[in-house]
Structure formats: C-alpha cells, structure tokens
A and B are shown apart, each in its own frame.
Chain A
C-alpha cells in the first residue's frame, strides 16, 4: 500500500530550549516495490524523517501513512513495526541480545514464529550478511568489531522479511566486499518481495545502485523529488546541497571546464566514453 508523507513538519523540543525545525513541510510518496533514496548532507533531516516511518517520532504537523497505517500518537506500534524493518545509523542502538543468535532471533520470536523457523531464518540472515553462522552465533554483539555490529543489525532486520525496509546509511562501516554483497542482496530482496526500500545516504553512487527515485533534503526542506538520474542530468545545484556529482558526470564537467567541447549531461561510464569518443572523432575528421 506504499508510503505517503504529506506536509510533514517536525520540530524537536517545541517551545523548549533547543527547539529545532528539522523537517519543514515535506511531501512525497513511495510505491510498493520501489527503492527510494533519501539524500542530503550532514544534519539535513534524513534520520528525523526515517524515524517517522516506524513511529519512533510523530509529526509535529502533517501526515505520515505507512502501509495504510497513520503514524500518530496511539498508533498500534506492533503492527507498524511488523511492516517496517529499520536499520539505525548507529547499529549499537539496536543490539541488545546476549548473543548474536538471540539478537537476530528477537524480532521473529516476537512475531510468534516457531523455534524451528526462527533457527532457519536466523542462520539464513547471518549467512546473507557474510558471517559463518556457527562461528558467530554465541558471540556477545557488544564485543564485536564496528563492521560486525552493523552486519548483526542488518541480519536482525533482514530475518524479518518486512515489506518495508528503512535503512539509515546501512553499509557504512562494512568492508568493501560486504558493501557490494549487501547492495546486491538488497536489489534482489526488493524484487522478490515487492518491498519498499527507503535508502538513506549522503552518497549518490550508493543511492543510484538501489534507487531510481528519491528526495533530496537540505536544512529540513525538500529541494527535489523525482528521478535521480534525471536530477543529476538536468541540474547543477547539487553543488550547494553537499552531494557529490555522479563520478562520470564529474569527469565530463571537469573536461568541459578545462575547455574540451564535450556534452556533460551524462551519468554512466558508457555514456562518458561515448562522449569522449565523439570528441576525439572531430579531430580525426
């Protein structure tokens, strides 16, 4: 049933010291099966937005509807969190099991899964994030390395097979192989389960690998809503939004700045190489 956010404003500590308008009248919607990026620089309001989707925060004004459930005080949180799996920006905040196994199993047990199914799904999830399930299951999650903690947090959410995933910088801290594996898996996951993935990041390249559409936030305001590639082909104001241009567009732009006559409105490596080819052709002719 998707996600709909209408004129969402969030003010922290309203009427108290440290009052802060972190979101300012944000509207967008996400359809089932969509990878949807929330892009923006440090402090732009991304995590604040994420926490509205699983009911950790409620709108100051405006409306958030997730899978047909309106997120407001008094909402059935258990129902909401069954639909929404969330990986926090700091994985430590969501690890509380005494062992890795207990931690990943927690959500499934809460939903009343039989122990056999729990065992199977925990093993599968641990395997997915790149662990040897037998070697890691008895470890205390708080005594793991930074990347290992992130992987346990991810496994805990993936095990639930929720129809909506909200992932706040999910691959930061993973090693290079882990990053690639998780991104590949998420793409599959989205397709197989027709799930929504809300992918929060400051990195465009990461977002592009999972999402076609998204929003860009800047100081709590929505500055773009729509296709990511289109945005980066048509616009140049990302310079002011603390977002790095796509690598290939960046190269084309630098070449153009240095005086080469090249079309810089490109995103993929293939397009870049084609443009360079065109350029060099003009010499030979």
Chain B
C-alpha cells in the first residue's frame, strides 16, 4: 500500500546545526496491518509518522503509494492517512466539539446529512456525545485526546496512525477507542499504526517496528520480538505482566506455556487444574 525507500529527514529550525532524525528508513505498510511503532524518546517516531502522512517531506529518499488500489482512484493523502498527533492541542481546529469532528469531512465534500450522522456515530462510540456543544478549549486532557481521535477516525482513513494518542485515557476510554478502531479494521480493512511506550499495548498488534536513533532496528512479527531480550532491552521493555507471571508459574510446574493476556492465562490455568483433577 505504502513504501518508504531509504528515507532521511533532518530538522533545520533549532540549533545552527541540522538535527538528523531519520537515517535511511525503508519499510512498507500493507492493507489491514496492525503495527506497533516503538522506540525511545527522541528516536524519531513522531517524525516518521509525519513523513508517512505527508506532513513532512523527506530530505532524501521516497514515499510512494501503490496507485492501482481502490479501482485506480487517487483520493487525497488526507483521506488516505489519518495521523492523530501526540499533543491534541496541535490538532483541534474548531471552537466547538461537534464542529471540530465535522471539519475534516466538510473538506472532503460529503453531503451534510451524512456528515451529521457520521459525527454523531463517532462521538457516541467514544462517549463524547454529551460534550458535543462544549467549547473545545474547556475540555479536560483526556476529553481533548478523545476529540482528537474522533476527528480523525470519523474520516475513515485507509491508514490510521495513533501517536501516543491514548496516554491520558482511563482504561474504559481506551477500550472504547480500541473497539472503534478494531471495527474499522474489520469492516474497512484499514491499516493501524500505533506509537506506544507500553509493552502491554503492543501485545494485540501483529507486527512491531522498532526505531533507534532514526534507524529501523527491528521490523517483524510480534512473537520473536517478545522473545528477543536484546531488542526489548534496547527500549527498556520488560516482559509483559502476564508473561512474567506465567513464566513464574511455568517454573512451578502449574502451566507449560507463556501467556500474554489475562484470558489466555486464566484459561491455561483452568485447563491444567481440570486436567489434573
């Protein structure tokens, strides 16, 4: 769907020196993939996200979209990539919640009735509907993050990039967001790229891309990633909580395999319990 070929990017706006952030990044994103983009602070994740979404132009290298998809139509990049920025204040453009969510759709020339329906559906799915008339600058931190997510998700981009977009959300709100984007993945086959620093959030993704000092150090399936202590250590990741507990339980002879979710762990334990009984 999208290919980055040997992409370099430098900022020139700060110190007299340029700051080289991306150093030869090559990767491709396929339709319907669910990817975690991880790396230490300052490793270049947000910059890469902006390059993918066309907000920044690479200093060197190319970003190309395969054009033959979707019956050869070439919608604008805005429709193709939806980037939810790390700081929602940089993204909220309207004074009122409902208007902010409608803003992107209005630019896509969608009929007003349909806009209204889509905006309502999205706000409801994120439990923000009761704030629809609220001035955006009076929202709480988490409410702003929900709004930023709503404004992008409502456009149903082909590729959705979440840049630490849920860090201020409580677990119920996080679940609402996950449900909303999983639904889009299932029904529209959208690609999801989530930038996160939390190992437990990485678990449900299928592929992990690790950036270190602007270079891709790992790009592959999640299972080998979790087993590679060197790669995990590079970004200070511990074993996910459930995996650590199950390792201890394996040591004690209660279960035989590492589990990565609560359900999985409970099921394995229960199975062993019943089997031995």
Contact = CB atoms under 8 A, between A and B. Distances in A.
- How large, as a class, is the contact surface on chain A? 35 or more
Interface in B220-277: 235-238, 241-242, 244-245, 248-249, 252, 254, 262-263, 265-267, 269-270, 273, 276-277
A172 B167 contact: yes
A139 B15 contact: yes
A43 B89 contact: no
Interface in B168-225: 168-173, 197-199
A195 B173 CA distance: 33
A14 interface: no
Contact of B172 (A12, A41, A151, A173): A41
A202 interface: yes
A112 B15 CA distance: 29
A269 interface: yes
Contact of A254 (B171, B172, B237, B266): B266
B30 interface: no
A234 interface: no
A177 B199 CA distance: 12
A43 B15 contact: no
Nearest to A141: B14
Interface residues of B, number: 55
B6 interface: no
A146 B163 CA distance: 10
Interface string B83-121: 000110100000000000000000000000000000000
Nearest to B251: A273
A184 to B, nearest CB: 12
Interface string A136-158: 00111001111110010000000
Given A175-B41, A251-B245, A259 B143 contact: no
Contacts of B242: 247, 251
Interface stretch (B54-62, B134-142, B151-159): B134-142
Contact of B269 (A40, A202, A242, A255): A255
Given A174-B197, A175-B236, A89 B252 contact: no
B194 to A, nearest CB: 14
B19 to A, nearest CB: 8
Contacts of B39: 175
Interface stretch (A67-75, A113-121, A277-285): A277-285
A151 B197 CA distance: 15
A43 B167 contact: no
Given A146-B86, A254-B263, 20 more contacts: A18-B135, A41-B170, A42-B142, A42-B173, A47-B141, A146-B87, A169-B141, A169-B167, A175-B40, A176-B199, A176-B237, A178-B41, A242-B173, A243-B170, A255-B269, A272-B245, A276-B269, A277-B252, A277-B254, A280-B254
24 contacts: A42-B169, A43-B142, A47-B140, A90-B141, A140-B15, A146-B163, A147-B42, A173-B86, A173-B164, A174-B197, A175-B41, A177-B40, A178-B236, A179-B197, A242-B173, A243-B170, A251-B262, A255-B269, A258-B267, A258-B270, A269-B244, A276-B269, A277-B252, A277-B254
Task: Return the 5 tightest CB-CB contacts between A and B, nearest first.
Answer: A177-B236, A147-B41, A42-B142, A176-B236, A202-B170
Interface of B: 11, 13-15, 39-42, 46, 86-87, 89, 134-135, 138-143, 146, 163-164, 167-173, 197-199, 235-238, 241-242, 244-245, 248-249, 252, 254, 262-263, 265-267, 269-270, 273, 276-277
